[in-house]
Amino acid sequence: MSQRPHAPARPPGGSAPLLVVEDLRTEIRTPRGNLKAVDGVSLTLDAGETLGLVGESGSGKSVLGRTVMGLYTTGPAMTVSGRVLIDGADVHALGDAGRRELWGAGVGMVFQDPMTALNPVKKVGVHLTESLRRHGGLSRAAARARAEELLRLVGIPEPARRLGQYPHELSGGMRQRVVIAMALANEPKLLIADEPTTALDVTVQKQILDLLGRLQDELGMAITLISHNLQVVAGRADRVAVMYAGRIVELAGADVLFAAPRHPYTEALLASVPRLGRPPHSRLEAIDGAPPDMVAPTEGCRFAPRCRYAREDCHRVPPVLAPEAAGGRARAFACHHPVRPVVAGGS
Amino acid sequence: MARGVLRRLAEIAVVLVVVSVGTFALVDLTPGDPAIAVLGEGHPPEEYAALRDEMGLGDPFLVRYGRWLGAALHGDLGTSLIPPNSDVAERIAAALPVSAEVAVLGLVMALVVSIPLAMWSAYHADGRVDRVVSAGTFGVLSVPSFLAGLLIIMVFSNQLGWFPRAEWVRLGEGLGGNLYHAFLPALTIALAETAMFTRILRGDLITTLQEDFILAAKAKGMSPVRVLFSDALRPSSFSLITLLGISLGRLIGSTVIVEYLFALPGMGTLIIGSADKGDFPMVQGAVLVVALIYVLANALIDLSYGYLDPRIRRAHV
């Protein structure tokens, strides 16, 4: 279906998806009021599938990734409603102890900044072995051997020596490989990669993304690839969900979405990406205005104030994410006046 | 590394010279006359003059300082001016273990209580326990140590009768008896230190707990206790360790109030008592030893930063 011919085929109709998110809402308490970081998101992810989750900063994609895991920082209080099923287990009903069994075993997480995601005072080896010993019940020696194997798997040379080093002795790309090895230690079925390459320079970005793709094929896991960068997701995700102001505004197969976006926001996002094929000195489209205030969002469509297709009803009635009349599962968008498929794309 | 240690030793030497010159200058700066301190009042002026000559007080400052320093470097801190004219080094050797033991015991007690307390508070920041701890530590800090000591004596010695008061059993006379008698003074010291340690560590822990690597550790399924001890504590303990070094030096030299309350023959009592009687050699020797312990403790603290954070270790090489 996509550029990756080896992408696993969808399981036959009957089997349940690996990840089910139903009407998920996350509100973060702030001094000004509750911030609706995730506001009614529903999606599914099949085993082995890659879902790209894109949107600008503050669109709620990172919070969504963490809420899916049931993982929060200590800090501002959050309220979560809705349901998340990972491999049949209701994440928010599991309780703390149950979630800890899931974290690092059934679900792994790759963080954005490898400079801060590794504890500066712990050796690389400890980062890996503690998870292995926690979930796999491995002995010290077995965990060490497995940790070495993991480092080799993520393409780190001299793995035995690296185990005894501290994070600051490794380059950024190497550290991100360690972060990935850490998330993969117990071969999770679902990997949530939150901007895994944003903090890296461009050449390293490609290496890391290729690595994730290779590991996905080897281990058969599903990946939620969160990024603000459409190019990171392009060619790697099977399906793409576009988030705006805490909601999914368009969800479609990657090839379909990039070729013919239906939501004006998706179209605007695609138009704002620089491309080599364009004539030199041509103007890059920017999206006017700013994202809405998520403490007190407007009624109606949240993109309406910035949308060039907006009409009167857009400001009153919130559009729902609905499958395209003819398309079935292939695509869904939340827009009263979608972009016509014919005019689509910013080629 | 070797260069770092050499530099550190040079720093220690400079600090000790400055401190010793300062205390030595006390003789010249304070109004009392050592000769009067020795002989008492009411003698003819010739006798005082003769004694001053005998003590070498007529010599220039630097000559006297050099003489004293030379002897001190050989472990001879002189003799007390006050009968029975005991050896200064011996008196210090008797008083120092008492102060050191009570101080170390108090600090250990403070750490044992404050680390878990700070962890709980920080992990549940702004929760009920955290608020009680915040108010409690603030309250304890505002109680002067003589009052805390008196209350502790009232409750544990007078009311409950669990511990004796106003006695000291040397370590040589049995560990059990020694610890039994050291407990209440150590507790008195521990109270304020616990409050201070808890507040400092709580604040640093709250900052550390926001870090990505804490979230990453949780995402591996590590338990909160494991995350706190194995991931959060070490990066959060710089201020605590620094404070610990300062506290150790301070407690050994200047817990006069606690020593008085519990009749401990410690360094604080020795220094204050000697200063009161104009016994300058004793004051000089004791202050020098306290200063030495202080700088050594802080040098150790500085070295421990390297243990706490490997990035610093590397910078030293």
Q: For B242-259, what is each residue's pLDDT tens digit?
A: 999 889 888 887 678 888
Alpha-carbon gap: B7 to the closest alpha carbon of chain A (Å): 26
Interface of A with B (CB under 8 A): 69, 71, 73-75, 100-105, 108-109, 111-113, 116-122, 130-131, 134-135, 166, 168, 179, 182-183, 185
Q: Please tell me the distance from the alpha carbon of residue A345 to that of residue B132, in angstroms, as a whole number.
A: 60
Q: Are residues A279 and A345 in the same domain?
A: yes
Q: Which residues of A touch B215 (CB under 8 A)?
A: 71, 73, 111, 117
Q: Left, alpha or beta for A293 (phi > 0: left; psi -120 to 50: alpha)?
A: beta
Q: Are residues A274 and A133 in the same domain?
A: no
Q: Are residues A242 and A297 in the same domain?
A: yes
Q: Are residues A220 and A83 in the same domain?
A: yes
Name which of A69, A75, A109 is nearest B210 (Cβ-Cβ).
A75
Low pLDDT (below 50) residues in chain A: 1-13, 343-347
pLDDT at A76: 64
pLDDT at A329: 55
Name which of A101, A120, A185 is nearest B311 (Cβ-Cβ).
A120
* Residue-wise pLDDT tens digits, A46-79: 999 999 999 888 888 988 998 998 887 655 678 8
Quick check: is A208 in a domain?
Answer: no
Under 8 Å between Cβ of A29 and A76: yes
Question: Which of A74, A113, A126, A168 should one mutate to test binding to chain B, selecting the residue with the greatest count of B CBs within 10 A?
Answer: A74
* Location of each CATH 1.10.3720.10 domain in chain B: 95-277
* Residue-wise pLDDT tens digits, B160-173: 878 776 677 776 77
Q: Which residues of B touch A122 (CB under 8 A)?
A: 230-231
Interchain proximity B211–A130, CB inside 8 Å: no
Q: Which residues of A touch B209 (CB under 8 A)?
A: 73-75
Interchain proximity B235–A102, CB inside 8 Å: no
CA angle B267, B270, B275 (to 5 degrees): 125
Q: Is B234 on the interface with A (CB under 8 A)?
A: yes
Structural domain total, chain A: 2
Query: What are the DSSP E strand ranges found in A13-139?
Result: 19-30, 33-45, 50-54, 78-86, 89-90, 107-110
Q: Are residues A222 and A150 in the same domain?
A: no
Alpha-carbon gap: A312 to the closest alpha carbon of chain B (Å): 44
Name which of B122, B215, B230 is nearest A73 (Cβ-Cβ).
B215
Q: Are residues A170 and A232 in the same domain?
A: no
Interchain proximity A134–B213, CB inside 8 Å: no
Alpha-carbon gap: B113 to the closest alpha carbon of chain A (Å): 23
Closest CA to B298 of B286, B287, B290: B290
Closest CA to B284 of B15, B5, B40, B72: B72
Residue A206, amino acid: K
pLDDT at B206: 93
Closest CA to B92 of B267, B301, B288: B267
Q: Please tell me the distance from the alpha carbon of residue A301 to that of residue A319, in angstroms, as a whole number.
A: 6
Quick check: is A207 in a domain?
Answer: no
CB atoms closer than 10 angstroms to residue A37: 22
- Paired tokens of B90: 């011996």
Q: Are residues A37 and A154 in the same domain?
A: no
pLDDT at B197: 95
Is 0.85 exceeded by the ipTM? no
Q: Are residues A164 and A194 in the same domain?
A: no
Interchain proximity B310–A130, CB inside 8 Å: no
Q: Please tell me the distance from the alpha carbon of residue B190 to that of residue B112, in angstroms, as a whole number.
A: 10
What average pLDDT does the structure give for chain B? 85
Interchain proximity B311–A185, CB inside 8 Å: no
Under 8 Å between Cβ of A236 and A213: yes
Q: Which residues of A touch B120 (CB under 8 A)?
A: none
Interchain proximity A120–B215, CB inside 8 Å: no
Interchain proximity B311–A119, CB inside 8 Å: no
CB atoms closer than 10 angstroms to residue A161: 13
Q: Are residues A99 and A166 in the same domain?
A: no
% of chain B beyond a pLDDT of 70 = 95
Q: Which residues of B touch A170 (CB under 8 A)?
A: none
Alpha-carbon gap: A1 to the closest alpha carbon of chain B (Å): 32
Question: Which of B220, B234, B309, B311 should one mutate to test binding to chain A, selecting the residue with the greatest count of A CBs within 10 A?
Answer: B220
Minimal-distance CA residue of chain B relative to A72: B215
Name which of A71, A120, A135 is nearest B309 (Cβ-Cβ).
A120
pLDDT at B315: 52
Minimal-distance CA residue of chain A relative to B230: A122
Interchain proximity A74–B221, CB inside 8 Å: no
Interchain proximity A104–B215, CB inside 8 Å: no
Please tell me the number of Cα atoms within 13 Å of B173 on its side-chain side. 10
Q: Which residues of B touch A69 (CB under 8 A)?
A: 219
- Paired tokens of A222: 């599903």
Q: Are residues A75 and A164 in the same domain?
A: no
- Paired tokens of B263: 């009749």
| Class level of CATH domain B95-277 | mainly alpha
Burial of A49: CB neighbours in 10 Å, binned 0-12, 13-18, 19+: buried
Q: Which residues of B touch A109 (CB under 8 A)?
A: 216, 219
The residue with greater pLDDT, B47 or A152, is A152
Name which of B123, B219, B230 is nearest A74 (Cβ-Cβ).
B123
Q: Are residues A228 and A82 in the same domain?
A: yes
Interchain proximity B215–A69, CB inside 8 Å: no
Q: Are residues A292 and A237 in the same domain?
A: yes
User: Among A274-278, B101-105, B152-156, whose mean pLDDT is lowest?
Assistant: A274-278
DSSP result, A59-89: SSHHHHHHHHHT---SSS-EEEEEEEEETTE
Quick one: CA dihedral B297, B302, B305, B306, positive or negative? negative
Minimal-distance CA residue of chain B relative to A135: B221
Structural domain boundaries, residue A131: 114-185
Q: Is the pLDDT of residue B28 over 80?
A: no
Size of interface A-B (CB pairs under 8 A): 87
% of chain B beyond a pLDDT of 90 = 24
Alpha-carbon gap: B197 to the closest alpha carbon of chain A (Å): 21
Interchain proximity B220–A182, CB inside 8 Å: yes
Q: Please tell me the distance from the alpha carbon of residue A5 to that of residue B161, in angstroms, as a whole number.
A: 83
Helical H segments across B85-174, by residue range: 88-123, 128-141, 145-152
Pairing of strands A322-323, A331-333: antiparallel
Q: Which residues of B touch A135 (CB under 8 A)?
A: 221
| Residues 36-55 in B contacting A (C-alpha not used; CB under 8 Å) | none
